[in-house]
């Protein structure tokens, strides 16, 4: 299978996407083709044997072939006209904006390009933490209580500590734990640098956090191990950043069968039919015997490969079980009836 990895994007998580994309070379046993989307939203074909992070920080990637997306394919200039970039399926591994907000998904679907990743509806749910809360409630999944504010809101906090999160960012960017009134204004300034809205949740000291990745293949759920990430107060950007280049296997959490099943059932409710065609990771809390959704990672760092015993096998099976776009036939029957009734 020829796999095109689409990465980069106009996003605060642009560099993280580069790290995740490069990590795929050590994980996937397929022929890889790299398509880089820069912050000007220009596509480039990056040679697989030369890809490295410095290529992008130095701007050297611009020496690579520039790609155009037209007529349902990526093409580049050739000696005689244009040449189509040949691949079987694309992997959307753009973290944050462009990748997880549905822009690239829509672009690929519009051009009838088969891809592995969240569909536009799934992106709408997962990219916005405010909408994630509502979605979770609708499928009977608990979340931590929260308040939603925009940068125009009058914000007040009654009880500390709290955790402040920009609504449309991942990787813990702009996230702060606030322990008193003096810290509040600074934390809000940081969050509003990245986003126009935040959610504020109570920070529960010592709450247990667990990660579970998975997907649906031919109608059946396939799960990773359940991991309890090691953290201090919370899993901050630096700790999460390491996960984007992570290839070594994680250690399974010590949960009894009943609680592990609760975690998996929560994942199933979240994944539902909404996330078909994608491999996602759910970050979950367990508090007083109840499972709560923290957030949905529709394009997890390094595709959460480190949580699976045989990630390549899972990925390959999912790639052969992607949802198909519905074929809609237009025959203008309605228009013709109107014209006939008017005698035109």
Judge whether 344 lies within some domain: no
Indicate if 130 and 84 belong to the same structural domain.
Answer: no
- State the Cα torsion 114-38-99-224 to the nearest 10°: 80
Judge whether 342 lies within some domain: no
Rg (CA), the chain: 22
Judge whether 28 lies within some domain: yes
- Report the pLDDT averaged over residues 60-70: 95
Q: What is the CATH number of the domain that holds 309?
A: 3.30.470.20
Angle at 13 between CA 12 and CA 14, to 5 degrees: 95
Please give the structure tokens belonging to residue 234. Answer: 């919370």
Q: Find how far residue 127's CA is from the centre of its chain.
A: 8
Q: What is the CATH number of the domain that holds 30?
A: 3.40.50.20
Name the residue among 302, 93, 122, 322 with its Cα closest to residue 211.
Answer: 302
Q: What is the pLDDT of residue 128?
A: 94
Indicate if 132 and 278 belong to the same structural domain.
Answer: yes
Judge whether 94 lies within some domain: yes
Structure letter (DSSP) for residue 97: T
Q: pLDDT at residue 316 above 60?
A: yes
Judge whether 332 lies within some domain: no
* pLDDT tens column, 168-212: 887 678 899 999 988 999 999 999 998 999 999 999 988 999 999
Predicted TM-score (pTM) of this structure: 0.90
Indicate if 257 and 136 belong to the same structural domain.
Answer: yes
Distance set, CA 259 to CA 58, 265, 288, 293 (Å): 48, 10, 11, 14
Alpha carbons within 13 A on the beta-carbon side of 82? 13
CA gap 178, 203 in Å, rounded: 8
* pLDDT tens column, 267-311: 999 999 999 999 999 999 999 999 999 999 999 999 999 999 999
Which residues span the domain enclosing 264?
Answer: 124-141+205-319
Q: What is the pLDDT of residue 25?
A: 94
Indicate if 239 and 153 belong to the same structural domain.
Answer: no
Q: pLDDT at residue 236 above 70?
A: no
Q: What is the CATH number of the domain that holds 198?
A: 3.30.1490.20
Indicate if 245 and 275 belong to the same structural domain.
Answer: yes
Indicate if 186 and 227 belong to the same structural domain.
Answer: no
Indicate if 29 and 61 belong to the same structural domain.
Answer: yes
Alpha carbons within 13 A on the beta-carbon side of 290? 10
Indicate if 110 and 129 belong to the same structural domain.
Answer: no
Indicate if 46 and 185 belong to the same structural domain.
Answer: no
Q: What is the pLDDT of residue 205?
A: 87
Indicate if 11 and 109 belong to the same structural domain.
Answer: yes
Q: pLDDT at residue 247 above 70?
A: no
Q: What is the pLDDT of residue 337?
A: 86
Name the residue among 93, 85, 98 with its Cα closest to residue 39.
Answer: 98
Judge whether 161 lies within some domain: yes
Indicate if 221 and 136 belong to the same structural domain.
Answer: yes
Q: What are phi and psi of 120, to 5 degrees?
A: -60, -35
* pLDDT tens column, 76-103: 998 888 999 999 999 999 999 999 999 9
Judge whether 325 lies within some domain: no
**Total structural domains within the chain:** 3
For the chain, what percentages of helix, strand and coil (3-state, to nearest 5) are there? Answer: 30, 30, 40
Question: How many residues in total does the chain contain?
Answer: 344
Judge whether 340 lies within some domain: no
- What are the residues facing 336 on neighbouring strands? none
Indicate if 217 and 68 belong to the same structural domain.
Answer: no
Q: Return all residues near 43 (Cβ < 8 A) that are at least 6 apart.
A: 35, 36, 37, 66, 67, 68, 69, 74
């Amino acid at each position: 299978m020829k796999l095109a990895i689409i990465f980069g994007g106009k996003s605060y998580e642009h560099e993280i996407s580069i790290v995740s994309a490069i990590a795929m070379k050590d994980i996937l046993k397929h022929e890889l083709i790299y398509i880089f989307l820069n912050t000007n939203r220009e596509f480039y074909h990056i040679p697989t044997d030369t890809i490295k992070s410095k290529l992008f920080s130095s701007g050297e990637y611009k020496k690579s072939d520039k790609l155009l997306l037209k007529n349902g394919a990526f093409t580049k200039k050739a000696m005689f006209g244009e040449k189509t970039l040949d691949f079987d399926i694309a992997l959307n591994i753009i973290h944050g904006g462009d990748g997880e907000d549905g822009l690239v998904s829509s672009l690929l679907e519009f051009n009838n390009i088969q891809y592995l990743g969240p569909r536009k509806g799934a992106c709408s749910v997962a990219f916005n933490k405010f909408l994630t809360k509502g979605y979770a409630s609708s499928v009977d999944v608990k979340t931590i209580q929260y308040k939603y504010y925009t940068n125009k809101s009058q914000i007040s906090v009654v009880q500390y500590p709290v955790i402040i999160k920009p609504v449309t960012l991942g990787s813990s960017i702009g996230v702060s734990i606030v322990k008193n009134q003096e810290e509040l204004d600074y934390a809000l300034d940081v969050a509003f640098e990245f986003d126009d809205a935040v959610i504020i949740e109570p920070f529960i000291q010592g709450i247990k956090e667990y990660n579970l990745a998975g997907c649906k293949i031919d109608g059946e759920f396939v799960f990773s191990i359940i991991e309890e990430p090691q953290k201090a107060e919370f899993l901050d950007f630096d700790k999460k950043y390491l996960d984007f280049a992570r290839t070594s296997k994680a250690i399974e959490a010590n949960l009894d069968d009943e609680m592990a099943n609760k975690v998996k059932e929560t994942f199933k409710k979240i994944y539902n039919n909404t996330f078909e065609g994608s491999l996602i990771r759910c970050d979950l809390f367990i508090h007083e015997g109840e499972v709560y959704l923290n957030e949905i990672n529709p394009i997890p760092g390094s595709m959460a490969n480190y949580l699976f015993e045989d990630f390549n096998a899972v990925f390959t099976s999912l790639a052969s079980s992607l949802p198909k776009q519905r074929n809609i036939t237009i025959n203008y029957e309605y228009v013709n009836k109107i014209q006939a009734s008017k005698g035109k």
